[in-house]
Amino acid sequence: MSTAHAWEKVLPFFEDDLQALILDPTISDLMINGTTGVYADRGGVVEHIPLRNSYSVERLEAAIQRVARMMGQDLTLQNPILNTRMPDGSRVAVVGAPSAIGGPTLTIRKFNRWYSTDELIESGSMPLTVRDQVVSFLLKKKNGIIAGGTGSGKTTLMKAILDHVPLTDRLIVIEQVAELRILQPNAVRWEAVDAIPGQVAILPSALLAAALRHRPDRIIFGEIRDECANDLLQAMNTGHGGTLTTLHAKSAWDALSRLSNLALSARPNINHSFIRSETAEAIDFVLYCEREQNGKRRVRELIEVTGYDFATQAFLTADLYRAEIIPAPDL
């Protein structure tokens, strides 16, 4: 579905300048800071966008309410935080009154197009050897993490890698905001839902438990953010190979520690080393990506997890790829 078609019912509620920015295919992230400024991410570089015409808080709030209600939700003083998506997969995040000062904060993450691994290799975002190694892991039903910071390209990288999963595999795809486009015909997509009037919350952990009863060949978990990490570890350690997930982290090794800590939050009475050893048993590889200062996204590390050392309480890993660190330019 095109961006224009997905937004056609709500675009008239925005000022003309904002409509043009929403439809601009060169923008990946649009950030509207109430009425204090509009910023956009083009090619990984955030720039201030001057507008020809001003707009009011009231009109911006009306537009956001229209988006929320189109997606079956509502933004109220009692529930000022909204995380949803448009039919084209664009991710919409809002913080409104009374928390937002100067008008509601609206951030739109757009997926103007998806990239293949060949395109990522050609652009210099990923070496051919890394792609081939990760595909080899997937075909052997190994479990992996794609880690990185916000805006580092984790979702784009996951989609490109998933294209190499055999079309005959049955995938259960669980996301908190559905955005991945899956090629495999025998795939089902589930989305976690926040609690709204008349609708209880449907948590990722509940969907993960349900997935085990739907005969998955692979479980694809959009992003681990909380204690459901423990449920995912248990699934991977009870024979569900080929699982792939994303995680916010500052390095490949840090992703293993963060996954362990999230799992531990669900089982605080369990020995910390035991949880870390379960993590090492469940995860076979970690792919770490980053966004450089010039906005370019690239794969920085690929490690293989070989075990856990109880004596030193350290993960045992092997470096399969580590990119050269590019020094920051002199100021």
Query: Which pLDDT does position 331 carry in this prediction?
Result: 47
Has residue 133 got a pLDDT over 80? yes
Query: Which pLDDT does position 296 carry in this prediction?
Result: 86
Of the candidate ranges 2-6, 49-53, 147-151, 169-173, the one whose mean pLDDT is the lowest = 2-6
Mean pLDDT value of segment 10-25: 90
pLDDT digits (tens, 9 = 90+) for 265-302: 888 888 889 999 999 999 999 999 998 888 789 999 99
Tokens 């089982």 belong to residue: 267
Distance of CA 128 to the CA centre of its chain: 23
* Mean pLDDT score of the chain: 89
Has residue 243 got a pLDDT over 90? yes
Has residue 260 got a pLDDT over 90? yes
Mean pLDDT value of segment 68-74: 82
Mean pLDDT value of segment 313-319: 96
Has residue 328 got a pLDDT over 80? no
Total residues found in the chain within this entry: 331
Of the two residues 248 and 331, the one the predictor is more confident about is: 248
pLDDT range class, residue 149, cuts 50, 70, 90:
very high
Domains of the chain: 3-109 (3.30.450.90), 117-322 (3.40.50.300)
Across the beta sheet with 187-191, the strand order is 187-191, 171-175, 218-221, 244-248, 144-148, 285-291, 297-309, 314-322
Has residue 163 got a pLDDT over 90? yes
Mean pLDDT value of segment 250-257: 96
pLDDT range class, residue 180, cuts 50, 70, 90:
confident
Distance of CA 281 to the CA centre of its chain: 24
Residues 6+ apart with CB under 8 A from 44: 28, 151, 291, 292, 294, 295, 296, 297
Query: Which pLDDT does position 42 carry in this prediction?
Result: 87
Query: Which pLDDT does position 326 carry in this prediction?
Result: 58
Of the two residues 7 and 219, the one the predictor is more confident about is: 219
Query: Which pLDDT does position 70 carry in this prediction?
Result: 84
